[in-house]
Every structure is written in C-alpha cells, then in structure tokens.
Amino acid sequence: MTERNTEVDVMGLTIEELQHEHPLTLVDLQLMHRDYIEDDDEYDDNELITTQNFHCTCNMCGRRIDWYHRYYYKCSMLSCDYSLHKFCEEIPKTLKFQDHPSHTLILQRTTNDEKCHACFKYRDVIGYHCSTCNYGIDLLCATFVEQHTIHHPSHPHPLISFSAEPILSKCFACGKKHEGHFYHCTTCFNFIINSDCLSLPMKLSLQTQNFSHRHLLTLSYSFSDQLYDCECRICGVELEDEHLIYKCSKCLYYVHPDCATQRIEPFMSIFLPGKTKKNFQDDDHPDLLHLPVDDESHILSHQFKEEALEQFRDPFLHSDPFVLIHDKINKYATTSLHDPMKRIKLLCNICSKPITKMPFYKSSTSDDFVLHDWCTRLPRKLTSHSAHPEHPLRRGRLNYTGSAGKCRICGLPCNGIIYHCNDCGFLIDVNCAFMPKEVTHEAHADHLLTRIESSDSGVSKKECHACRVGIGESETYFKCNACDFYLDCRCALQLPKTIMHKFDKHPLQLSYAPIEDHKSQYFCEVCEEELDPGKWFYHCAECAQSIHSACAPLILQSEQGVNSFYLEGVYKFINIKFGFVEKRPFHEHPVSLAPGTKNDGLCHECGSKLQSEMIWKCLHCNFACHCHHELTSLLDPVDQSLIYIFGENKRKIKQHRPQTSLEFYPSEMKRPETRHWKVDDDIQ
C-alpha cells in the first residue's frame, strides 16, 4: 500500500488559470419552458424533450450538469465542448468557511493527495486551503449548497436537498407520502417535493397496456385555471387543483402522474376503476340490457319479444280494433314514423315514447292513437313489484285528458298507461314498471350495474356520473358494486346512443368525455350556453357541434326547450303525450293539450307564466291557460283540497281570493284531489 505524503504542495491559482481560452456564454436551460405555450400547434415538443434530457460534464469539478441546474456556461466556439456549472465559473478566490472561522481559505491547486477536512475524502485537484493551519476542503464541499440546489418549474424559488438519507414525508407537488430524497424551498419553508416528482418528464407519451392517447401529455404544476371538475381518465378519481397532473389541453385529457407512469404497486392496480377486469359472465346474464339503447322505447321491447298479431282488440285501450302497420302495403299505413328532423311526432299512447320503426299498431278509426307492438303485451297486473311489494299493481289510466300522475320511481309526470295500487295510491309509469334490475353501460362497459331502490339506499353521498347531480335518498339509481360509479335512472335509460337534431344534418353521438382535438370551447347549439364536457353530451364529430344531453330530448316535445339546472325543467314532460284536441267548457274554440313555451305568454286565468307547464292552448285565438284551472273549477266548494303533482304534501287554501291575485309557484303544479281525478282500472 502506497503511503501518502503528509506535506502538501500547493500553489495559488491566477485569474488567467481559471479562465477558458475562448469566451463563455451563459445558457438558461429553462428559458424555453418559461415561454412555452402548450396549445401552440407550431411549437416543437421534441425540442423541449431534448432540452430536459440535456446533460454534460463540468470541466472544473468533474460533476454532471443537468437541466435542473438551469444555468451553465459553455464555450462560444462550436468546435469546443468546454462547459462549467454557473457556480463553478463564478467561484470566489477566497472563502470564509464556518468550520474554520479563524482564517480565510484561498482557492489553490493541489499537487499531492490530501483528505478534505469536511468530508474526509481525498481532495480533488482544486480546493480551498489555509496555509497557516494546513486546513483544506475540496471543491465539492465548498460548493455543497450550490451542488444540491436545483431550479424547477414547479416552484418559483430555488430548492435545496436537506437530507442525505431517505426519509418518509408528504410531497407537496403530488399530495402523497413518499420515502426518498426531498427538496425544500429556503424562502417558503413549507414547500417540499420528492425527487421522483422532480424527475418526471415534461412531455410524456401515454402508451400503457390499458390506456393510450394520441398526443403527448404535458406535465402541469397546477390545475387552478380549469373551468370544470375533472377526473383522471385512468383511475376515475377527481383531480386536485393544486397538485401535479399530466394533461392534453387540446383534448381536455387529464391523468395523475402515478397513473400515467404506472408508479403503482402491481397488487394495487386491481383496485383502479379503469383497470378492473370484467366482473360478470355473459352466459350468466343472457337477457342483459346493454345501454345506451337506440331509443327510449327499446327498454320495453327488450322485455316483450313475442311476435305481433296482425290485429287485436283491447276495449280498455280503445273501443275500436287495432291493426298492425308494417313495411308491407297496408290500407291503414297513412301515418309516418316519428322524425324530429321533419317535425313529425308519433308517440305511443301507452308509454308516450316515440315510434321510430315498424311494426306498430294503429287504431282503425283514429290516426293519432298508435301503440308499439310490444306495449300491447303488457300484463294487466304486477305482483310483488320491487318498488311496492306490499300490494299488487294494476294497469290503469287517468280518466281526464288534462291531468298527469307522478311516477314514484322517476318522479316525472305521465299521462299514458300506468300501474297503480288501489290500497295506498302508489303509482308508476309503464317504463319504470319494467325497469331492468341489472344493466351494462358503454361508459362503464366491463362492470355490471345493479338497480338500487330508494329504500335500499345506503350511501349518503353519491353523484350521477352522467349529469354530476347528487342522487337523493328517495331516488332509484344504478350502481357498480366494484367501484363508485352511479347513474340515476333518467340518465341511464332516457339518453339514446344516437340522436338526430334540426341543428345538425348528421347524427349526434352520446359522448362521455371531452372530444379529442376539439380546440374551441364547448357551447350547446340549442340553448347557446356553455357546455361542461365532463358531463355527458351529444356531439357531431364532422361539424364539431355539441348539445347538452338535457337539451337534446326536449326537441320531441317543445321547440323552445332549453337546458336547465333543475331536472324538472329538463325532463318534465318526457313521459307526457301532447296534441289532444278537445272542446272544453271554459272556451268557445277547440283547445289542444300542449307544453307551455315562452311565446304562449301569461295564463288567461291567473296571469302567471305558462312556460314549462301543461296548458290548454286555443287553435284559433291567443287563449291559453294552465290545465289545472279547469280542474279547480270542478272542485266541491266545501272541500277545496289540493295535492302537488311534484310533491306528496296536501294543504288547504287559506281563503278564497280573486283569480287575478292567486299565487302559483313555477316549480310546482297543483291538481285537485277529487273524484274528477282518478284512475280507471283495467278490470277484465
């Protein structure tokens, strides 16, 4: 073993010796990131990737120069690769060192090896030396703070490593606990970031086993400018405003860094909602309804698949016989199919849903009395229905044209065929009566969704994944038992996969997430209000046009239907068939049952608005009034009790007032609880 000399041969360094023979240029490696515009299509992302991957060796200390050092000096001559850390090039000739305060250390070159008094390792060629005490430290210890200080775009101040050994602490950048090396800000003191998060690439190509995206994802250090609440496209968990994310702003595509880089323990990945495998076997569910359906009426057709008869008679439905209309030549085939593009409305008198294909039944004497062929096979009585197992439910109908009953499952008014309980007044429409117990949905394809009745509700806080509205404790909804995925029954069953709309010549597809390469903001073509792409909506890829899911179905009932934050305004009349024309005693001309629009103005009876209400509308003059006024006039003057259609509480009128001063609440419709509003039973 060679013995080392105890005497050190040192000589001072002159300024000329520290200088390079060529001029040096100061380079800012993060200048590009500071001016970077991620939505600029003309910007070369590869150049940014190359800059972040940059590294070279410092010619003074021999250590690596990285992107996170931000600044370094390089030779201005292209043929010379001389480089220096910024702190090495600007190193002082003398140093006041805290462990040797009595003397000033001088920057010198050593010719023999000697241990550094700070780290006890053999010193480098250049270091600081005290000739009086023979005390010296190497260049790395002298520049320890600078060597361990980095500049990162996630924080405006320099960050310094504060622990030589790995520690367990919470990272402020991602919000999770890490075990490893951490950097903290000496200015803020409360900002700590893990080295793993510091080393995340600025640009990332997402190509995993289960997920991919066509564009490069950009690392974003805050999410505060986002207009909508967004979820990670991989795990489905809502993203935090103040934490790191990877995003594609062109497509509004956002993911957690851990999900994008798969920095998750393998056994934990099975708990991610987007990664779970199919949790049911097709053979075990041969008649499973796969949503979304082609149109709303498909739900009933899925359950009643028998072949239609050429003719049938049902005195309860109509006094005259029905004939089957199909694509064969038929003398009764004078009715066109439902087509909102041509303003042709053909709704079934049983379920109030559109008739979009043949065959269907039509009354031999009335062109407007039409039925789906499967609706004619509905049973007359339901026993032990899951929503009301205490009593049997009988098929019935309301005996007054201008009245509507409230379904106890979906909460919507209906005036078609219903199922009701004679003992307690329980009432449901035919669509909810045959709501499937289990379904699948394209938006959550690999998981089985189970229907949860209101009485079975055990979750205090749940939100519909489609409309982002909270699901009430009294509502029926569908739930995925494998993860926190919920759909209320309206969004699950009443949003068809494809629609046609007068505002677009192409079919619009139901979309569950923001559209790729959609560069402009989202606006609804119907109501012209802003559209949140985090909620389900309809979209035409060819025209880049979008429609609220709430605005789309209203074209079937009202040309002036617009989006509403209240479900009552959105779905209020989707189970109502309008268009009945009758001669009523309160007006000299025939009146039509219609949904009130803004153009209908005020009620001729009470002076309140008619918009979004059931009204009688004159076909010859400007007369229009609420339907419930006629029923109010039929009340027994002694017992004038009212019942809310959109509520269950009864109340008494405090005192009689003139009609001009009556108050009507726009979100509540009232109907009399008298013998004039009752259910006709199908008793045969």
Is 240 a domain residue?
Answer: no
More confident site: 264 or 25: 25
List, for residues 309-355, the tens digit of each pLDDT value.
Answer: 555 656 566 667 888 887 655 555 566 887 777 777 888 888 888 88
Residue 274 has pLDDT above 60, yes or no: no
143 token code pair: 């520049």
Using alpha carbons, select from 38, 49, 33 the residue that is nearest to residue 218. Answer: 38
624-626 and 192-194 beta bridge pairing: unpaired
Same domain, 476 and 551: no
| 3-class state of residue 332 by DSSP | coil
Domain-embedded: residue 264: no
Q: Are residues 135 and 167 in the same domain?
A: no
Q: Where are the alpha helices (DSSP H) in 388-471?
A: 430-433
Q: Please write the tens of the pLDDT for every residue from 116-128.
A: 888 887 766 778 8
Give the distance from CA 163 to its chain's centroid: 41
Residue 284 has pLDDT above 80, yes or no: no
pLDDT tens column, 226-263: 656 678 888 878 888 778 888 887 788 888 888 888 75
Residues 39-52: tens digit of each pLDDT: 544 455 666 666 67
16 and 102 share one domain:
yes
Q: What are phi and psi of 455, to 5 degrees?
A: -70, -20
**Residue 6: predicted pLDDT:** 37
Do residues 397 and 330 share a domain?
no
Per-residue pLDDT tens over the stretch 356-382: 888 888 888 877 788 888 888 888 899
Query: Is residue 592, in this structure, part of any structural domain at all?
Result: yes
The pLDDT, as a whole number, for residue 306 is: 61
Banded model confidence at residue 517, pLDDT cuts 50, 70, 90: confident
Q: What is the pLDDT of residues 423-439, one digit of tens each?
A: 888 899 998 898 889 99
pLDDT digits (tens, 9 = 90+) for 558-579: 444 555 544 555 567 888 888 8
Q: Look up residue 295 and give its DSSP letter.
A: S
Tokens representing residue 308 in the block: 């239609």
Q: Quick check: helix, strand or coil at residue 151?
A: coil
Structural domains counted in the chain = 7
* Residue 210 included in any domain: no
Q: Which strands form 641-644's sheet, in the order they lie side by side? A: 650-652, 641-644, 670-672
Q: How confident is the model at residue 449 (pLDDT cuts 50, 70, 90)?
A: very high
Say which DSSP state 207 is in: B
pLDDT score for 520: 75
Q: Are strands 289-291 and 438-441 parallel, antiparallel or unpaired?
A: parallel
Residue that is last in its domain, among 377, 404, 420: 377
Residue 245 resides in a domain: no
Confidence of residue 3 (pLDDT cuts 50, 70, 90): very low
Considering the domain architecture, whether residues 82 and 166 belong to the same structural domain is answered as no
Give yes or no: residues 181 and 99 share one domain: no
Averaged pLDDT for residues 195-207: 82
CB 629 within 8 A of CB 586: yes
- Provide the greatest CA pair distance for the chain: 123
Query: What pLDDT digit, counting tens, does each position of 142-167 carry?
Result: 887 777 888 887 788 888 887 767 88
Last residue of a domain, one of 570, 591, 612: 570
| Domain final position from 146, 179, 212 | 146
Task: Give the pTM.
Answer: 0.66
Residue 63 predicted with pLDDT over 90: no
% of the chain exceeding 90 in pLDDT: 8
Residue type, 284: D
For 494-550, give the DSSP string.
S--SEEEETTEEEEEEEESSPPTT--SPPBBTTT--B--TTS-EEEETTTTEEEETT
How far, in Å, CA of 580 to CA of 479, rounded?
Answer: 39
User: Does residue 91 sit in the same domain as residue 155?
Assistant: no
* Other beta carbons less than 10 A from residue 179's beta carbon: 11
Q: Is residue 272 part of a domain?
A: no
* Shared domain check, 623 and 555: no
What is the domain extent for residue 658?
581-681
> Is the domain of 397 the same as that of 361?
no
